[in-house]
């Protein structure tokens, strides 16, 4: 069973509107979270706390970006849910729904995806209104995450 999901799967599970609400509620910070698949193949949402501001406050040299332009999910949350994780999502406040160079670096730090069967959903929120959403999946031929045509 492939763990990768697409936009339609998330919409059909009734999760997209929840992600949109979280994106709007956490604006102007980036929101973040996980979409998990259980043993019955049902998708569930796990909204996460964006730790970027906390890490930035502790060590601004190592973490120069704030939650306005970056997100960080507690690694323990990732480890605890890795076997069920099918999508990582985050928002881009006042920016498009693109997979930035920074997103690429975090998702594939050594040129290979950290989680090969995990999709990445990016939600654009312009002035607290959802403007767009796009899904990104790993492409072996491109050697990077690319826009999933099914979005």
CA distance 133 to 97: 6
Q: Mark out the alpha helices in the chain (DSSP H runs).
A: 7-12, 16-26, 52-58, 75-81, 101-107
Give φ, ψ of 56 to 5 degrees: -60, -45
Q: Which CATH number fits domain 7-147: 1.20.120.80, 3.30.70.380, 3.30.70.420, 3.40.140.10?
A: 3.40.140.10
Provide the pLDDT for residue 19. Answer: 98
pLDDT in tens, the chain (151 residues): 345 899 999 999 999 999 999 999 999 999 999 999 999 999 999 999 999 999 999 999 999 999 999 999 999 999 999 999 999 999 999 999 999 999 999 999 999 999 989 999 999 999 999 999 999 999 999 999 999 975 4
Provide the pLDDT for residue 4. Answer: 80
CA distance 94 to 123: 10
Q: Which residues contact 16 (CB under 8 A, 6 or more apart)?
A: 7, 10, 133
Provide the pLDDT for residue 3. Answer: 58
Q: Taking the CA of residue 71 as centre, how many other CA atoms within 13 Å lie in the half-sphere pointing to its CB?
A: 26
Q: Which pLDDT tens digit goes with each residue over 52-77?
A: 999 999 999 999 999 999 999 999 99
């Amino acid at each position: 069973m492939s763990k990768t999901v697409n936009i339609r799967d998330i919409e059909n599970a009734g999760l997209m509107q929840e992600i949109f609400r979280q994106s709007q509620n956490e604006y102007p910070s980036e929101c973040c979270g996980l979409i998990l698949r259980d043993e019955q193949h049902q998708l569930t949402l796990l909204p996460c706390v964006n730790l970027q501001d906390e890490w930035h406050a502790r060590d601004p040299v190592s973490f120069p970006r704030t939650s306005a332009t970056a997100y960080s999910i507690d690694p323990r949350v990732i480890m605890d849910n890795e076997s069920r994780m099918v999508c990582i999502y985050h928002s881009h406040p006042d920016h498009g729904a693109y997979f930035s160079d920074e997103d690429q670096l975090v998702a594939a730090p050594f040129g290979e995806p950290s989680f090969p069967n995990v999709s990445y959903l990016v939600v654009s929120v312009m002035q607290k209104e959802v403007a767009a959403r796009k899904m990104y999946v790993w492409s072996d031929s491109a050697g990077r995450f690319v826009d999933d045509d099914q979005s």
